[in-house]
């Protein structure tokens, strides 16, 4: 990791660490909003089902693991519609040459890709994105909600009494659970999204399965987890902050 960072700094300069950041900065707010909106809508649906059936404790709010995973999967799929094209454009910008770039920025990339490959070009790698999001967020939100349920059950607190420390710690745990599960899928998604659009411009992979087989045959099983370490280092900070923000915002909105 340090060797990689040193090489980038030496050869491309400090600003290269921020290549392609405009696209996720513009998209991350939308993505997180979709995730939590779909999650909470599904949770409320299950509250109603449980209450009508006499399940789930007070007001039906003690959701089962299956209900939480289902809500997480739905949140992931909803998020995938935005995350797929946002990450595709980001990856194109990050992997292009500094000396002879094809795209001048995210909007130029969108214009050029859509003009030559249609709207489908923008959504390249979308199928594997949906798989990653569904699997990942099913695990992600299940872990977080189960940890919150456990604390509420043991201490007798309400959801709006959850401490900031607990929200951050449970968010960190959710992130650590997420990345080992999705990282191999994410790697395949990135390979497909950096691949050519056709054989004329150097396409290597005919399909997702062909990509998996090719990577395994040529690079071995280690290729599927290469780079997981930095993701695990970053994860607790990003996800702890995400869930703290969610709990605080939810508490504020419910106070009106």
- The CATH number given to whatever domain includes residue 48 is 1.50.40.10
Number of separate domains in the chain? 1
All residues at 6 or more sequence positions from 56 whose CB lies less than 8 Å from its CB, including other chains? 46, 47, 50, 62, 63, 64
- Does the residue 203 lie in any domain? yes
Q: What is the pTM of this model?
A: 0.87
Could you give the count of Cα atoms lying within 13 Å of 224 in the half-sphere of its Cβ?
A: 14
Do 89 and 110 contact (CB within 8 A), yes or no? Answer: yes
Which pLDDT belongs to residue 92?
A: 94
Which pLDDT belongs to residue 25?
A: 63
- Does the residue 10 lie in any domain? no
Q: Write the pLDDT tens digit of every residue in 119-141.
A: 999 999 999 999 999 999 999 99
- Does the residue 38 lie in any domain? yes
What's the Rg (C-alpha) of the chain? Answer: 20
- Does the residue 49 lie in any domain? yes
Low-confidence ranges of the chain (pLDDT < 70): 1-27
Nearest Cα to 106, choosing from 21, 224, 170?
Answer: 21
What tokens were used for 66?
Answer: 């299956």
Do 129 and 193 contact (CB within 8 A), yes or no? Answer: no
- Does the residue 13 lie in any domain? no
- Does the residue 73 lie in any domain? yes
- Does the residue 232 lie in any domain? yes
- Does the residue 11 lie in any domain? no
Range of the domain at 172: 20-254
């Amino acid at each position: 990791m340090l060797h990689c960072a040193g090489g980038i700094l030496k050869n491309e300069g400090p600003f290269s660490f921020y290549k392609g950041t405009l696209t996720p900065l513009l998209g991350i707010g939308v993505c997180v909003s979709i995730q939590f909106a779909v999650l909470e809508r599904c949770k409320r649906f299950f509250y109603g089902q449980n209450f009508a059936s006499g399940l789930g404790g007070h007001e039906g709010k003690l959701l089962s693991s299956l209900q939480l995973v289902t809500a997480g999967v739905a949140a992931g799929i909803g998020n995938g519609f935005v995350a797929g094209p946002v990450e595709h454009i980001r990856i194109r910008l990050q992997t292009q040459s500094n000396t002879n770039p094809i795209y001048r920025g995210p909007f130029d990339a969108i214009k050029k890709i859509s003009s030559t490959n249609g709207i489908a070009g923008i959504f390249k790698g979308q199928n594997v994105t949906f798989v990653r999001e569904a699997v990942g967020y099913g695990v992600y939100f299940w872990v977080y909600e189960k940890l919150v349920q456990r604390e509420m059950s043991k201490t007798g607190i309400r959801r709006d009494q959850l401490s900031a420390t607990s929200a951050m710690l449970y968010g960190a745990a959710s992130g650590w659970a997420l990345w080992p599960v999705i990282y191999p899928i994410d790697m395949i998604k990135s390979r497909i999204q950096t691949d050519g659009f056709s054989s004329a411009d150097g396409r290597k992979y005919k399909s997702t399965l062909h990509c998996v087989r090719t990577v395994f045959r040529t690079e071995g099983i280690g290729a599927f987890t290469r780079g997981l370490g930095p993701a695990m280092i970053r994860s607790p900070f990003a996800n702890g902050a995400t869930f703290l923000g969610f709990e605080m915002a939810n508490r504020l909105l419910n106070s009106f």
